[in-house]
């Protein structure tokens, strides 16, 4: 079996979750904590820390995904473009957050990294540099 660090041969498996964790923790001032029973990544320090990615491991449905804030208009665009991969998550979807499935192959990790970086920038109030 080939090495599969991105989880492409095991969509929705532990390799995908571990890669998401690696992507999140590579960003500055990030802390991982369990929130609402799921691994959640916070950006910033102390009381100013804000959630920028939360895992949704079959949270009220059969999907393995993550939720994150997205720039204005991105949620509508992504859901319309790829409804099998992107969705409006419960609780936070009305605020423009996007749900990204980890259990639909193939995973486009470059796109995931961009979405996570955008979410981090939104949470910290920093401008993202490409």
Could you report the per-residue pLDDT of 16-36, keeping only the tens digit for each?
999 999 999 999 999 999 998
Beta-bridged to residue 66, according to DSSP, are: 55, 100
Look at strands 86-87 and 64-68 and give their pairing: unpaired
The pTM (predicted TM-score) of the whole model is 0.86
Q: What is the pLDDT along the chain (130 residues), one digit of tens a residue?
A: 233 444 444 555 789 999 999 999 999 999 999 998 899 999 998 888 999 999 998 766 788 999 999 999 999 999 999 999 999 999 999 999 999 999 999 999 999 999 999 999 999 988 766 5
**Contact 62/55 with Cβ under 8 angstroms?**
no
List the structure tokens of 8.
């492409």
Spatial distance between the Cα atoms of 34 and 65, rounded to a whole number of angstroms: 16
Phi, psi of 58 (to 5 degrees): 60, 40
Instruction: Render pLDDT for 7-16 as a digit per residue (tens, 0 to 9).
Output: 444 555 789 9
């Amino acid at each position: 079996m080939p090495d599969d660090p991105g989880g492409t041969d095991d969509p929705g498996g532990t390799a995908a979750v571990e890669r998401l964790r690696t992507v999140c923790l590579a960003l500055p001032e990030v802390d991982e904590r369990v929130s609402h029973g799921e691994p959640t990544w916070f950006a910033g320090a102390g009381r100013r820390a804000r959630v920028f990615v939360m895992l949704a491991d079959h949270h009220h449905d059969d999907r393995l995904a993550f939720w994150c804030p997205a720039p204005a208009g991105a949620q509508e665009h992504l859901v319309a473009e790829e409804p099998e991969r992107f969705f409006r998550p419960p609780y936070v979807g009305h605020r423009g957050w996007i749900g990204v499935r980890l259990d639909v192959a193939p995973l486009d990790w470059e796109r995931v990294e961009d979405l996570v970086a955008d979410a981090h920038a939104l949470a910290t109030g920093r401008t993202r540099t490409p």
